[in-house]
Structure 1
Amino acid sequence: MNPRTATLILLLGCLPPSQLMAQQELEVPEMTLKRSVWQNGIGTGFAEGALSIETKLVRGLGTDQGGSRVNHDLWLGQLLLGTILMEPCRPNRWYGGNLELTGQLIGGAQDHPEPAFFVAGNVGLRYHLSAIGRVVPFLTASIGISGTDIGEPDLSGTFQFNEQVGGGLRYFLSERRAIVLEYFFQHISNGSTSLPNHGANSHMFSLGFAWLY
């Protein structure tokens, strides 16, 4: 044992046990302290900078609305990341709430009229309305680029654009955990970069789970 180590052990041995315990107790709150994701408890509006991670299972039912020649049914999975951009606006009004920036990774397949893959990356905005108890309704819209081999008669080429517009609600089981229900209308097309380009349109219904940090 070198002299420095021996000296350190001797000094620690001279400290009263109560002083060592007090030092440990002071360190514990710093390790357990967490910033709230709410202004003042569940349903009071999200804090600026709060982060969301969501996973969702999505069922799409095709429609001929918007010009599609056939119905395109899909099964998709989504991973969403979001950050609250602002403090609640108009907190005492039903339409008051928070604006959130979102990014999505989407992947899955068409199962009707024939099998085809679909992948996409989207960015968008989500507006959270005033809470009703533990329920927080929201409106959402996003746009992105995608790849698919759905093909004719409604699409051509692998590269496509996709847009989503809809709304839903989050039911908070606890301060940082929520079940997410959502409906949105999805449109896929290539922006007339090649023909045909009638578009693949679907009504989308999703069930998911959210974690907030």
Structure 2
Amino acid sequence: MTKNTILIPLALIAFLAPLPVRAETAVTTAQSECALLTGYGITHRYFGATRTQVQTWDAIARYGRFLSQEVGRGSWYQGRHELLVEVPYHMAVDHDARSMVGGYLLGSWKFTGLDGISPYVFAGGGILYVDLGLPTMGTKLDFSYQGGTGVQYFVRKDTALMAEYRYHHISNAGTAAPNEPLNSSKFLVGISFFH
């Protein structure tokens, strides 16, 4: 690893990440947010009925709409409800760059009580068109459920860098045989803009 390989990412982080902005200036007043996430996913072989290893590069466009004003002010759970709509693209890097695309609907709780950062949890599901060429999946129209957690670090009043982990399940929900599920972990980073 060269010196430049280390210095360039550190300089980029220092440029983009000044002192934290008070989280309440963005998260507590915004009506919506738009985010772009990218990252890596890998299946857990032998977790449940998963037998096939699939590694993915993931790109997700997200739109979030806040459903409530701030709840629980002054308590540990202070935050807001948010509905997330995602359009994911998952490219299987170890299966000839075959891909999956679809849509997810997720519910989220965004914690607002910390300065400059906003942790969140989410869960939900959706549908995927799966073109991995795996005969063990039974059909190309599949379903997904998922849940995870993340954190947003505010670099401006309305802009946050984000890091996220999610457990991700795909299967055909018994609509065809065979029905090998893909149980994965996904590690994502991104940027979010609040409106």
Specify the TM-score bucket, using the shorter chain as the normaliser: 0.7 to 0.9
Letter of the 1:163 partner, please give it.
Y
In the TM superposition, 1:186-201 aligns within 5 A as 186-201=168-183
Question: What letter corresponds to residue 62 of structure 1 in structure 2?
Answer: T
Q: Aligned residue for 2:80?
A: 98
CA distance in 2, matches of 1:147, 1:113: 16
Alignment match, 2:41? 60
Structure 1's unaligned 5+ residue stretches are 1-40
CA contact (8 A) 1:94 1:130 kept: no
Contact in 1 for aligned 2:138/2:176 (Cα 8 Å): yes
Deviates more, 1:123-132 or 1:76-85: 123-132
Between the two proteins, the alignment pairs up a number of residues equal to 172
Question: Normalized against structure 1, the TM-score is what?
Answer: 0.76
**CA-atom RMSD, angstroms?**
1.6
Distance 1:170 1:195 in 2: 41
Deviation at 1:114, TM superposition (A): 4.9
Greater shift in the superposed pair: 148-157 or 183-192: 148-157
| Structure with the greater alpha carbon radius of gyration | 1
- Amino acid paired to 1:42: R
2:63 is the counterpart of 1:86: no
Structure 2: gaps of 5 or more residues: 1-20
TM-score by length of 2: 0.82
CA distance in 1, matches of 2:71, 2:63: 22
Out of 42, 58, 68, which is 2:22 matched to?
42
Matches of 1:98 and 1:53, distance apart in 2 = 16
Superposed displacement of residue 153, structure 1: 5.4
The answer to whether the Cα contact below 8 Å between 1:46 and 1:84 also exists between their aligned partners in 2 is no
Give the counterpart of 2:51 among 42, 51, 69. 69
8 A Cα contact 1:82 1:102, kept in partner: yes
SS at match of 1:112: coil
**Kept in 2: contact 1:69–1:154 (CA 8 A):** no
- Per-residue deviation, 1:61: 1.5
Counterparts of 1:66 and 1:112, CA distance in 2: 21
Identity of aligned residues (%): 23
